[in-house]
Structure 1
Amino acid sequence: MNPAIVIPAFCRPATLERLLASLAAAEVPAGTPLVLTIDRPAEERHRPGHTAVLHLAHGFHWPHGPKEVRQQPEHMGLVGNVFHAGSLAADFGAIVLLEDDLLVSRRFYGYAQQALAYYAAEPRLAGISLNTLWFNGFTHQPFIPLLDDGDVYFLQLSTPQGQVYTARQWAHFAEWLAVNGREVTTADNVHALFAAFPADDWLAVKAKYLAATQKYYVYPRESLTTNFGEPGTHFAQGTTLFQMPLQQFRREFRFMPFDDAVAVYDGFYEILPDRLSRMAVNLPVTAYEVDLYATKAAHQLQADYLLTSRPCRQPVATYGREMWPLEANVIGGVAGTGLSLARRADVDLSVAATRAAQGDNDRYFSRYRTGEAGRRRLFRRMGRLLGRGG
């Protein structure tokens, strides 16, 4: 399957020019369509940038196939334009959707083709990501999927950093959206942060959709896109938080059936209990909920037992907080405290306990070092070890 490439754009000519240059240099089959769907400005301050984007889009030479520039007849906003871009999957059978602050790897299209060939018929997938994640978006702590025999993992969250959709995948979302609308509240089974997202951000409603339908995105372990985080609709100032190293060389990728994969995570970046139990064979209970990042609200923790980093009394089992990622300590049966398997009734779910657990996780993820003093201690220790020859 050869997906069309679709770019929703608005008023940032410099970012669009960079993306187009990377697309022109990428390995893309001849005959691949490129569609630029350009939103119309509603405010005068956006008109110069919009005019420059139109000029760039019309003047750009697409060396890999036909090019089409679509200007919206009225202002749609970021969400409207992105969703319009997604709907074009119906016209082409499949699309690669790229927002204009991205840059692509030379191998991005080959990955998209291979992932589509492998997963297009998987009903539990809502889409394919071209970008991997290095941090938990709720705590800004590292997110480290367990390693298995594949080049991918599965997560019940979407991404704005390069997406691939079949016509069926986008149609299913559009049908759900028509019935359920865009509103997200704290009563939904998603992180409470999503209820505070602005109306011009679509990640929240996608999170709600994924939770409601029990669908996932498949993510590569190595990124095929990176995000420059320039100022725009969502950022008043630039950020490098989303930069990732690009896989520029690999041509063949190893995919795994959803049912066989171990690295499958819910919408809170927590590994699914049934996947963890495949490896943590000595867990004393089989029905539990994972809460290692301590970000789930009390009403979202319904299981009788919790595997958690929050304080608790009378734990059934405890584990140290040493191996990476957190769940590796449970799999390895690492002795110690910090992680507990306990009855829900014995877990402290208060705000103070949640903050304490996340603070302890901060220290764990910083490898129990803080600031410059911690770095100096590490270097001194390394020097002593090297001085002893190991």
Structure 2
Amino acid sequence: MLKGCFRQMAGLETDKTAIVIIAYNREKPLRRLLSSVKTADYPDKCEVPLIISIDKSDNGEVLKAASEFDWKYGEKRILTHDKRLGLRRHVLECGDHSGEYGNVILLEDDLFVMPDFYNYALAALEFTACDERIGGVSLYNHLLNVHVREPFFPVEDGFDNYYLQLASSWGQAYTAGQWKGFKEWLEKRGEGSELCDTDIPENVRSWSDSSWLKYNIAYLIEKDMYFLYPRSSLTTNFMSQGEHSGGESCDLQVPLGVFRGVRYRFGKLYESRSRYDAFFENTALKELMAQRYSLKPSDICIDLYGYRRKTELKGRRYLLSSRALPFKILDSYARTLRPLDCNIIYNITGEDFFLYDTDTEGKAPGVDKAERYLYNYRALSSARMLAMIKRTCLNKLIPGG
């Protein structure tokens, strides 16, 4: 149960945590999500409000699924809308319920939750409520760098969480204060603004204006804030066909546990060595490199995934990158240990990551892209690669083939 600082920040004499399900026209995914929510664990003698918010559509089966769902843990509310909101406005309205209840857990209807999702959310919200640098809590654990479509694993630092400067949309929770901070920033900036002055990844910048998430991410970057993420995911994503998804896929499925009643050991932002920016780069490496080479952390840019562009250096002289660039190389590291960070942390020498002095020209090093693929995708035999190429070609020639 949430208490103390959380109550003061919320300004409410309540410690209810509402589950808000965001639905539109996907009846079967909604039933699947509701089934997982129903079988989850909830604290004894704790009222758990459930809100099912349904955007306007022609699918009456969605409302039927919501109406038939039996909820024994507290109040159940079904909200319908006479006019189509669209995903962005719908999510923003659902988040506003944090002002009524104190905090919310937002779940889109193509998600699936594991048994301990609610207990985790309570613990994480209470842990982060007083920290002004935390913008929210993710229930989902990324295993993919969404910008480059390569595996991502946060370095282990002894805690059950890590921090990422990327807001979550695949199961997320907010205190009233966290949500209010985002909404006030959004209203001041103006919905639909270009975000030209924000150092956000190009992938995020390219998302349509109907995306609420890119603005939540921009907010974190501008304010130098983070989301708390779990190491063991409490949700997974089926990517059911919808406004921003073409159809179900396994790309975003992540391992789920069956554990219940865990006592989580969270680490604060200042003590975490597993702290990542919006590019999925470990910001703790800047302090390490500064100490190792007698540099200023503010002069160093980390780019292990090779996704940053020169314009994103923003005056930082030293660049640690996997890209082949025409600058003087001060040192280089291997791509051997997992995760990527550990090659730098443990000073593993090699020719895969290069520390450049961008003020001095030099010869661009050779980079073996094939080795990078083999590192990322284990046991990738020639036969398997040919099978994947064949399938990809067939799908392009014959959709669904």
Instruction: Bin the TM-score by the shorter chain.
Output: 0.7 to 0.9
- The number of residue pairs the alignment matches comes to 364
Equivalent of 2:29, from 10, 15, 21? 15
Task: State how far apart, in whole Å, the 2-side matches of 1:5 and 1:182 are.
Answer: 28
1:282 aligned counterpart, secondary structure? helix
Task: State how far apart, in whole Å, the 2-side matches of 1:297 and 1:54 are.
Answer: 47
Q: Percent of pairs identical after alignment? A: 32
Change (3 A) 1:325 1:286: farther
1:75 aligned counterpart, secondary structure? coil
Equivalent of 2:263, from 248, 252, 257? 252
Equivalent of 1:366, from 377, 387, 398? 377
Match of 1:106 in 2: 115
Match of 1:300 in 2: 312
Task: State how far apart, in whole Å, the 1-side matches of 2:362 and 2:33 are.
Answer: 48
Match of 1:213 in 2: 223
Q: Deviations over 1:302-357 (max 9, x none)?
A: 311111112244311111221112221111111221111121235799xxx89968
Q: Deviations over 1:364-390 (max 9, x none)?
A: 323595543789xxxxxxxxxxxxxxx
Give yes or no for contact 1:33–1:66 (8 Å, CA) kept in 2. Answer: yes
Structure 2 gaps of 5+ residues are: 3-15, 387-401
Give yes or no for contact 1:292–1:339 (8 Å, CA) kept in 2. Answer: yes
Equivalent of 1:173, from 161, 182, 187? 182
Task: State how far apart, in whole Å, the 2-side matches of 1:342 and 1:161 are.
Answer: 37
Q: Where do residues 19-58 of structure 1 align in structure 2 (5 Å cutoff)?
A: 19-29=33-43, 30-41=46-57, 47=58, 49=59, 51-58=60-67
Match of 2:399 in 1: none
Q: Where do residues 53-72 of structure 1 align in structure 2 (5 Å cutoff)?
A: 53-72=62-81
Q: TM-score, normalised by structure 1?
A: 0.87
Change (3 A) 1:54 1:367: closer
Match of 2:394 in 1: none
1:98 aligned counterpart, secondary structure? strand
What RMSD in Å do the two structures reach over aligned CA positions? 2.5
2:263 aligned counterpart, secondary structure? coil
Task: State how far apart, in whole Å, the 2-side matches of 1:314 and 1:198 are.
Answer: 39
Task: State how far apart, in whole Å, the 1-side matches of 2:319 and 2:118 are.
Answer: 41
Match of 1:92 in 2: 101
Task: State how far apart, in whole Å, the 2-side matches of 1:10 and 1:167 are.
Answer: 25
Task: State how far apart, in whole Å, the 2-side matches of 1:139 and 1:14 are.
Answer: 31
Give yes or no for contact 1:156–1:266 (8 Å, CA) kept in 2. Answer: yes
Equivalent of 1:231, from 238, 241, 264? 241
Give yes or no for contact 1:103–1:225 (8 Å, CA) kept in 2. Answer: yes
Structure 1, 84-93 or 277-286: larger mean CA deviation? 277-286
Give yes or no for contact 2:289–2:295 (8 Å, CA) kept in 1. Answer: no
Say whether 1:159 aligns with 2:173. no
Match of 1:332 in 2: 346
Structure 1, 120-129 or 326-335: larger mean CA deviation? 326-335
Match of 1:182 in 2: 192
Task: State how far apart, in whole Å, the 2-side matches of 1:299 and 1:359 are.
Answer: 27
Match of 1:381 in 2: none
Give yes or no for contact 2:115–2:258 (8 Å, CA) kept in 1. Answer: yes
Task: State how far apart, in whole Å, the 2-side matches of 1:94 and 1:357 are.
Answer: 48
Q: TM-score, normalised by structure 2?
A: 0.84
Match of 1:3 in 2: 17
- Superposition deviation, residue 142 in structure 1: 0.7
Equivalent of 2:278, from 250, 253, 267? 267
- Superposition deviation, residue 360 in structure 1: 5.6
Change (3 A) 1:360 1:297: farther
**Which residue type is aligned with residue 53 of structure 2?**
T
1:341 aligned counterpart, secondary structure? strand
Match of 1:150 in 2: 159
Change (3 A) 1:295 1:211: same
- Superposition deviation, residue 146 in structure 1: 0.7
Q: Deviations over 1:254-281 (max 9, x none)?
A: 1001100000000100010x45535995
